[in-house]
């Protein structure tokens, strides 16, 4: 009889990711590639599959545990085989991973929102996700002094923000600023209400977006690109792309044009050091692409955009978009971005102000193109104009540089021949 141990696979640079779902119990029979455990980092959800069909013998983790690459999750044997008895003194089963302890459930008479251990008590480790822990670090909030209002005392982003606003744990970047709180309203007193829980992806987005907003001084530069010729060129390639099984959209051209602008203005392809006293310029070009899913906004990353043509980019965009919408993103799919594009063109609108995806220093927002009359020196002619909105970290980038960047980007988009330069 052969016993298999299912372990945490390669999850990139993450350590201590959350176990958010356990789909099996001892005695369950599973097939090959059956998703038995679901793990979640602050950027992606990963289902761990079984390497072989079999019967679950023992599950070593539970919801709320934290695991890292190589940690054992469960053991299983071939279907129909009974596990051999294990010697009592030295069990052969792998030991469960060392996971952060979770607060014990509150007694039946206690409120559902139980606080975590008080500062200095040393009785428990604060129960919070990596994203919430990062937000707490950004706001200089001590998690041991935060009351968790989530399930089983789990600390949510909102709990950290309450402490930060009250000045109990300090303000943004350790400034000690106490922010005014939003009034608590009893909405039900005015009429019928319904409370809809946020998805895990959206809850994690709350922490990341708020951390970026309170730490990054945002400015947005707006502009327009004349994409009349680009759209004509794209349409001329439609049949060729279709035969290759590729859906060729404007986004693939946008990505190539952005890389051209990033090469010309390298500060936009950088990040500030933690002390904010230097820029780290990256010599690689990995673009984050915001994708709207049923669970909320996710940002998969397309790597090495400078080394790929528009056809290859279009194919990869389709593949990564499908993985994002089906919750099948791999850890490498959401890591290493140097610049982000958020394209709302298919949904409408004329402009918006995207939030910088820190620690990046800039993000491009794209709205729906429209045909408008443009003066060509002799008369008005119809041209297709694409609205562009560039948000940037004013600590790293000046307004003049942002204006030059968006002008260079528009110039490249106006003439598709420039994409090969």
Number of Cβ atoms within 10 Å of the Cβ of 243: 8
Q: Rounded to an integer, what distance in angstroms lies between the CA atom of residue 170 and that of residue 266?
A: 34
Q: Are 101 and 128 in contact (CB under 8 A)?
A: no
Give the residue numbers annotated as catalytic, written as ranges.
394
Q: Are 257 and 419 in contact (CB under 8 A)?
A: yes
Sequence-distant (≥ 6) Cβ neighbours of residue 158 within 8 angstroms: 149, 206
| 155 DSSP 8-state letter | B
Q: Rounded to an integer, what distance in angstroms lies between the CA atom of residue 347 and that of residue 192?
A: 31
Reported for 159-168, long-range contacts at CB under 8 A and 24+ positions apart, including other chains, are 160/132, 160/135, 160/136, 160/207, 161/135, 161/210, 164/139, 164/140, 168/141
The continuous run of DSSP H or E covering 132 comes out as helix 130-138
Q: Are 354 and 365 in contact (CB under 8 A)?
A: yes
| 306 DSSP 8-state letter | G
Q: Rounded to an integer, what distance in angstroms lies between the CA atom of residue 96 and that of residue 69?
A: 13
CA distances from 105 to 61, 109, 389 (A): 17, 11, 47
Q: Rounded to an integer, what distance in angstroms lies between the CA atom of residue 359 and that of residue 273?
A: 9
**Furthest C-alpha separation in the chain:** 93
């Amino acid at each position: 009889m052969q016993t298999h141990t299912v372990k945490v696979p390669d999850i990139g640079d993450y350590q201590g990711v959350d176990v958010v779902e356990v789909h099996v119990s001892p005695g369950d029979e599973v097939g090959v590639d059956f998703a038995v455990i679901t793990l979640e980092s602050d950027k992606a959800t990963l289902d761990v599959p079984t390497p072989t069909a079999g019967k679950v013998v023992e599950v070593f983790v539970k919801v709320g545990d934290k695991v890292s690459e190589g940690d054992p999750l469960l053991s299983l044997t071939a279907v129909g085989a009974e596990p051999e008895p294990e010697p009592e003194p030295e069990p052969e089963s792998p030991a469960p991973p060392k996971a952060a302890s979770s607060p014990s459930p509150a007694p039946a008479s206690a409120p559902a929102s139980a606080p975590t251990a008080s500062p200095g008590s040393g009785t428990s480790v604060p129960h919070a996700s990596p994203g919430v822990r990062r937000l707490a670090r950004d706001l200089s909030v001590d998690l041991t002094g935060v009351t968790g209002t989530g399930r089983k005392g789990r600390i949510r982003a909102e709990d950290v923000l309450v402490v930060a606003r009250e000045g109990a744990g300090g303000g943004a970047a350790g400034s000690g600023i106490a922010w005014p709180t939003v009034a608590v309203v009893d909405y039900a007193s005015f009429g019928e209400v319904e409370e809809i829980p946020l998805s895990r992806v959206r809850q994690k987005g709350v922490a990341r977006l708020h951390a970026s907003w309170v730490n990054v001084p945002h400015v947005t530069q707006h502009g327009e690109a004349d994409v009349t010729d680009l759209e004509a060129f794209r349409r001329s390639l439609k049949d060729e792309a279709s035969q290759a099984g590729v859906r060729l959209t404007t986004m693939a051209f946008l990505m190539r044009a952005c890389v051209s602008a990033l090469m010309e203005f390298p500060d936009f392809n950088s990040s500030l050091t933690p002390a904010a006293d230097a820029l780290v310029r990256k010599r690689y070009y990995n673009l984050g692409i915001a994708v709207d899913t049923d669970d909320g906004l996710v940002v998969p990353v397309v790597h090495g955009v400078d080394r790929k043509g528009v056809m290859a980019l279009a194919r990869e965009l389709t593949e990564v978009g499908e993985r994002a919408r089906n919750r099948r993103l791999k850890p490498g799919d959401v890591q290493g971005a140097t610049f982000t594009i958020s394209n709302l063109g298919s949904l409408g609108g004329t402009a918006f102000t995207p939030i910088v995806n820190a620690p990046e220093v800039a993000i491009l927002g794209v709205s729906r193109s429209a045909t408008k009359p443009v003066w060509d020196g002799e008369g008005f002619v119809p041209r297709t104009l694409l609205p562009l909105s560039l948000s940037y970290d004013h600590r790293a980038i000046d307004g003049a540089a942002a204006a030059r960047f968006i002008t260079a980007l528009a110039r490249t988009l106006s003439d598709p021949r420039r994409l090969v330069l």
